Copies of this chain bind each other. A is one copy, B any other.
């Protein structure tokens, strides 16, 4: 997958419009990282216009970080319209498993929308993999992280959710896992300090959507490229941090790094390995 780096300049040139229906916590970071990654963001979360807006765009992000009935309905309407038009849909099931309502929103989306990519942490992806068939309410899972020790188990969870949905599955963590039915990859890029910022997960979904929008037929490579771009940006941001700086500066430098990323940087820093 050394040619992942070739996706970035194409994404920057095509500047895909990305429609976000997302939470109000990290929405500004999503907007700015999308521009930094080469896309152009539009936020519109009301059923009165979500189909219209999605029609104008090259990709759609559904992020249920702060769900309510109104935005759920907007997500369902936009998701179905994007499916109808063949636009890539990136689903970020934030907090799936944490409340009965959130669980019902996640399962409603999977019942009515076919996501192109589903990106979550291991708890969220496990909830979806188990919940799709049974629709049972599930309490919040303990936080787990994908590492070398549980990589095989995480892959089997990803494979189950792929089998149920047809989507490319991304499980984020110290190691990111990206898999579809044919192949599976581990992304070793990233830095532990990313976990000390709110919104790096949401931003990742936005960056994936940029690459999906510019490369609609290649969701696996687009998802990999998105995770690699975020991971390398997290590494570069840390390298530039001075001794007396903390999370505030780290966030600024993460945006700096993404906005300056190019194919050469990507090629040199990309750490992706095939698992299956």
Residues on A lying within 8 angstroms of B by beta carbon are 23-29, 31-32, 35-36, 41-46, 48-49, 52-53, 56, 65-70, 95, 98-102, 139-140, 196-199, 240, 244-249, 251-260
Contact = CB atoms under 8 A, between A and B. Distances in A.
Contact of A248 (B95, B102, B254): B254
Given A246-B255, A248-B259, 7 more contacts: A25-B27, A36-B246, A43-B66, A46-B68, A49-B67, A68-B70, A246-B257
Contacts of A26: 28, 31
A196 B36 contact: yes
A69 to B, nearest CB: 7
A155 to B, nearest CB: 27
Contacts of A69: 46, 48
Contacts of A253: 248-249
A199 B28 CA distance: 9
14 contacts: A25-B28, A26-B31, A31-B199, A32-B197, A36-B196, A41-B198, A44-B98, A44-B99, A45-B66, A52-B101, A53-B98, A56-B139, A245-B256, A248-B256
A248 B257 CA distance: 8
A248 B251 contact: yes
Given A246-B257, A251-B248, A102 B49 contact: yes
A251 B32 contact: yes
Contacts of A102: 44, 49, 52
A254 B260 CA distance: 18
Contacts of A101: 46, 48-49, 52
A158 to B, nearest CB: 25
Nearest to A100: B52
Contact of A35 (B99, B139, B197, B257): B197
Contacts of A42: 95, 98
B244 A32 contact: no
A184 B10 CA distance: 40
Contact of A258 (B43, B246, B252): B246
A33 to B, nearest CB: 9
A197 B29 CA distance: 10
